[in-house]
Amino acid sequence: MPVRKWGWIASSLLLVVFSITGCALLQNPPVAELPPSRLTCDANPNMVDGNLETVGTFQAHGSIRKMYFEEGTVEFNANPKRYQINHDGTLKTETLIKLDKPTYVAYIEIYPGSDIPKLAIDFTAEEKSLKWRNSFVAVQDRRHRDVKNQQKVWLPIRQEVLYLRITADGIEDRKGQTRVESDDRRFSYGIVTPLKGAKIREVKIYERM
């Protein structure tokens, strides 16, 4: 085959490759990680300090009360579990991350420091106001799923963000369990299990350039 024809074919192939690459770049604009200096987390500063060796812990404000029915009561005979569970306080834990200004966030990465039950992410681009909490939008991807074995979580956002809210269920602290007596004649005694917060080593936020 003539040299000129080979050159034409090579040039055509290069043109196709560059065209495909250019289209990919247009469809996937570059992203950059927000530096820790642009992030604030008053409750858990270690979650956004840029150091994967430090750990932030959710603050838990609740406990689980398991009351056992007295033998011989109607409830004891009718309930196959033979106990009743009540919650004191709240099962939910929460932390709030603020960006220095409203920013178009492409995605976030969460680096767990423990198992995280029922992880959920919400965000808003609004400043705090009387109706501020109603302005949060839920991220539906992997919502309320359990994170196991400290596996990194990647979540697309693709929206403008000023505040990022991370919520999770508290974890039963079985080492802190206590036995309580009951004033209700239906129950013989109860076990109270305090809740502790899950841990996160780092939350990384990536903006679209």
User: What pLDDT, in 10s, does the model give residues 139-197?
Assistant: 998 899 999 999 999 999 999 999 999 999 999 999 999 999 988 888 899 999 999 99
Whole-number pLDDT of residue 79: 78
CB 99 within 8 A of CB 187: no
pLDDT band at 2 (very low <50, low <70, confident <90, very high): low
Q: pLDDT band at 70, cuts 50/70/90?
A: confident
pTM across the whole model: 0.81
Percentage of the chain exceeding pLDDT 70: 87
Identify whether the C-beta of residue 190 lies closer than 8 Å to the C-beta of residue 65: yes
Which residues are within 8 A (CB) of 1 and not within 5 positions of it... i.e. 6 or more apart?
none
